[in-house]
């Protein structure tokens, strides 16, 4: 069973000042989870979680995570500027991008970020822009299909990211010749896994690669970045990952593979977005219409422009009708938004309590890849982001867009001159 982190009474009080729809985040939950992650990997002296900024690019959220010891994983010029504005600097920023524009590399270098090269050709491209840093990383793609037991988790061979093993070796060889002294290995093989064995299995692959690269190239492997991929239980009956078990699994692989090779100084990095934030954000909306045709529809004042995942992926997000948590789920609804797209549905054939106009709908697990994937189709305006602080107060982190914002980028100069 999923429980909202605000009550109907709390939501009504917030709505008095900030009309729906809006994304609301739980500071207490975010901080407790960040501390749990740090505890799970506390056995590794150099451990650092580099939060995937793309998941929730909101300065107020980044500040909370920074205070909990996290770094920032950035993938674009704008994300780098945001990390800089929040106060991240130097090797507290990991720059992991692909098909990277020159100006992005230049800024990443100026900020002293750890550069994570996605492709072998990026080394020569980067060298024309900036000096090769002493600490550098490359992204590995082992190809093929990645699976745990008989379950296929993802297909790295079909992904555009990373280098082959031969390319990794050549990349590290060239980087060493050009002055790099400390090397990192990064890989992302599966998304949103529910398995406690994903990180340990990935760690084993990367640890073995690290040993091979160290021996063959005589280089110092400074860190292994396990990237993201640890999922959250979107459905009410799904079993959550156990980050303590995951951390212990990585520790066992570390002691088995790295320590006997004299590599006990290798730091472990992660860059989770979904696991760090998804459960601690919600989209709060109001039921504004009911339609009775071939199906029963409830229309919200939110739409896919506020939360794209259900429309884009058919992703499940649990819904709670605030104040009706104990009512029987004896009505079948499609819960929809107002876009001119038939996939603009938060829920299809969902069993819920009877919904009345004016009811407040709490959409769970929108803290990562929620507001960040918003857009302006149909001229819809992106909603506010609010932080429910530990003391119960609510802080505005990002105001709702206005029509003036929407029109601000247009240039009508001379457009209608004959």
Q: What is the pLDDT of residue 418?
A: 56
Q: Give yes or no for a contact between 206 and 140, defined as CB atoms under 8 angstroms apart.
A: yes
Q: Does the pLDDT value for residue 153 go beyond 60?
A: no
Domain ranges of the chain: 41-272, 279-407
Q: What angle do CA 106, 107, 111 make, to 5 degrees?
A: 120
Measured CA distances, 96 to 20, 185, 188, 309, 411 (Å): 35, 12, 11, 23, 34
Going by C-alpha positions, the residue among 337, 333, 347 that lies closest to residue 374 is 337
Question: Is the distance from CB of 287 to CB of 361 less than 8 angstroms?
Answer: yes
CATH of 279-407, one of 3.30.450.40, 3.40.50.300, 2.70.70.10, 2.40.37.10: 2.40.37.10
Q: How far apart, in whole angstroms, are the C-alpha atoms of residue 370 and residue 58?
A: 11
**Average pLDDT of every residue of the chain:** 95
Per-residue pLDDT tens over the stretch 114-132: 999 999 999 999 999 999 9
Q: To which H or E segment does residue 28 belong? A: helix 27-40
CA–CA separation, 61 vs 26, rounded Å?
Answer: 10
What is the percentage of the chain residues whose pLDDT exceeds 90? 91
Please, which residues have CB within 8 angstroms of residue 106's CB and are 6 or more apart in sequence? 129, 130
Cis peptide before 21 (omega within 30 of 0): yes
Annotation: CATH topology of 41-272: TIM Barrel (3.20.20)
Are the C-beta atoms of residues 146 and 190 closer than 8 Å to each other?
A: yes
pTM, 2 dp = 0.95
- Confidence class for position 250, pLDDT limits 50, 70, 90: very high
Quote the percentage of the chain above a pLDDT of 70: 95
Task: Express each pLDDT in 311-348 by its tens digit.
Answer: 999 999 999 999 999 999 999 999 999 999 999 999 99
What value does the mean pLDDT take over residues 207-215?
98
CA angle 262, 265, 271 (to 5 degrees): 130
Q: Are 305 and 339 in contact (CB under 8 A)?
A: yes
Q: How far apart are CA 194 and CA 229, in angstroms?
A: 9
Which two structure tokens, joined as six digits, stand for 186? 């990064």
Q: Which letter does DSSP use for residue 63 in this model?
A: H
């Amino acid at each position: 069973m999923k429980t909202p982190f605000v009550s109907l009474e709390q939501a009504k009080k917030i709505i008095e000042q900030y009309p729906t729809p809006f994304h609301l985040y739980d500071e207490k939950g975010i901080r407790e989870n960040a501390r749990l992650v740090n505890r799970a990997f506390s056995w590794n002296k150099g451990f650092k979680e580099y939060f995937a900024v793309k998941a929730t690019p909101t300065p107020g959220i980044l500040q909370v995570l920074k205070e909990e010891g996290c770094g920032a994983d950035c993938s674009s010029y704008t994300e780098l500027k945001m990390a800089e504005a929040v106060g991240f600097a130097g090797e507290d920023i990991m720059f992991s991008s692909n098909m990277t524009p020159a100006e992005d590399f230049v800024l990443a270098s100026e900020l002293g970020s750890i550069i994570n090269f996605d492709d072998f050709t990026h080394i020569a491209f980067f060298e024309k822009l900036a000096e090769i840093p002493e600490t550098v990383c490359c992204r590995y793609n082992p190809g093929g299909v990645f699976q745990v037991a008989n379950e296929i988790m993802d297909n790295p061979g079909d992904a555009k990211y990373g280098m082959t093993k031969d390319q990794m070796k050549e990349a590290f060889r060239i980087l060493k010749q050009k002055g790099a002294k400390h090397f990192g290995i990064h890989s992302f093989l599966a998304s949103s896994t529910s398995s406690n064995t994903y990180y340990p299995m990935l760690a084993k692959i990367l640890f073995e690669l690290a040993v091979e690269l160290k021996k063959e190239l005589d280089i110092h492997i400074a860190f292994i970045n396990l990237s993201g991929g640890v999922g959250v239980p979107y459905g009410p009956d799904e079993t959550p990952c156990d980050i303590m078990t995951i951390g212990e699994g990585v520790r066992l692989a570390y002691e088995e593979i790295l320590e006997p090779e004299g590599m006990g100084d290798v730091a472990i990095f992660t860059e989770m977005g979904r696991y760090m934030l998804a459960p601690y954000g919600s989209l709060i909306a109001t039921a504004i219409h009911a339609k009775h045709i071939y199906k029963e529809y409830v229309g919200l004042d939110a739409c896919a422009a506020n939360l794209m995942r259900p429309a884009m992926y058919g992703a499940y997000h649990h819904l709670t009708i605030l104040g009706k948590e104990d009512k029987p789920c004896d009505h079948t609804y499609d819960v929809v938004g107002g876009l001119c797209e038939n996939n603009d549905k938060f829920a299809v054939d969902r069993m819920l309590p009877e919904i009345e106009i004016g009811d407040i709908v709490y959409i769970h697990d929108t803290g990562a890849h929620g507001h960040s994937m918003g857009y302006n189709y149909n001229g819809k305006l992106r909603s506010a982001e609010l932080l429910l602080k530990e003391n119960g107060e609510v802080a505005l982190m990002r105001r709702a867009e206005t029509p003036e914002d929407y029109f601000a980028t247009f240039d009508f100069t001379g457009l209608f001159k004959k």
